[in-house]
């Protein structure tokens, strides 16, 4: 019979598998080694926990003091400019607004970077031709103006179709967005 009394066959198998060379007798020397190992393990666990807590509190403290990272889109709203008026719209209305604006823009200039390759080519040309660069830049900016004009007209039509209550709520969102995030938008 194994030391320690009667055991079922699973415990016996585990004992044979994990402790094949150990005797079942616990001497004072074996007991002190076991206690010493347990103390070191506990000490390492406490030190590890302390380091983890320090790191966690440092991260929370940094977020508390400095706020969310600047790339956080949920908390970032423009303070002024055309983006403020679009950002204050609800998401589905914003999507419809952009679709309406895209329908108004001629097919060749719907992409925002349609003139960018030409501008970059003129910048990299050797020798540099200032007149050609100016013409490419003017064309790209006129495309941007056409896209902005289409967006403005779609936004104006959308606001004109709103009821008085919807316009008041929209104005309140614009005002709230313009005041929000003053620390990050300075």
Give the CB-side neighbour count of residue 107, counting CA atoms within 13 A.
0
pLDDT tens, N- to C-terminus, the chain (186 residues): 445 555 576 666 666 656 555 555 555 555 566 667 777 888 889 999 999 999 999 999 888 888 766 665 555 555 567 777 888 888 888 888 888 888 877 766 555 555 778 888 888 888 888 898 888 888 888 877 887 888 888 888 888 988 999 889 888 888 887 776 555 545
Given this model, what pLDDT does residue 1 score?
46
Using CA atoms, how far apart are residues 165 and 143, in angstroms rounded to an integer? 35
CA gap 77, 174 in Å, rounded: 10
Q: What global pTM score does this model have?
A: 0.48
- Paired tokens of 103: 């329908």
Alpha-helical segments (H) within 67-129: 82-87, 91-104, 116-124
d(CA 139, CA 115): 7
């Amino acid at each position: 019979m194994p030391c320690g009394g009667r055991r079922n066959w699973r415990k016996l198998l585990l004992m044979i598998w994990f402790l094949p060379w150990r005797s079942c007798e616990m001497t004072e020397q074996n007991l002190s080694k076991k206690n010493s190992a347990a103390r070191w393990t506990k000490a390492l666990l406490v030190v590890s926990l302390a380091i983890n807590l320090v790191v966690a509190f440092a991260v929370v403290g940094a977020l508390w003091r400095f706020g969310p990272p600047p790339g956080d889109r949920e908390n970032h709203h423009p303070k002024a400019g055309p983006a403020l008026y679009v950002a204050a719209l609800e998401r589905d209305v914003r999507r419809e607004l952009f679709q309406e604006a895209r329908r108004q823009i001629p097919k060749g200039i719907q992409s925002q970077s349609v003139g960018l390759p030409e501008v970059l080519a003129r910048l990299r040309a050797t020798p540099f031709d200032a007149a050609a660069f100016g013409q490419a830049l003017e064309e790209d900016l006129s495309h941007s103006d056409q896209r902005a004009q289409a967006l403005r007209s779609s936004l104006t039509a959308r606001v004109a179709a709103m009821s008085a209550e919807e316009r008041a709520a929209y104005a309140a969102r614009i005002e709230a967005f313009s005041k929000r995030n003053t620390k990050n938008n300075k």
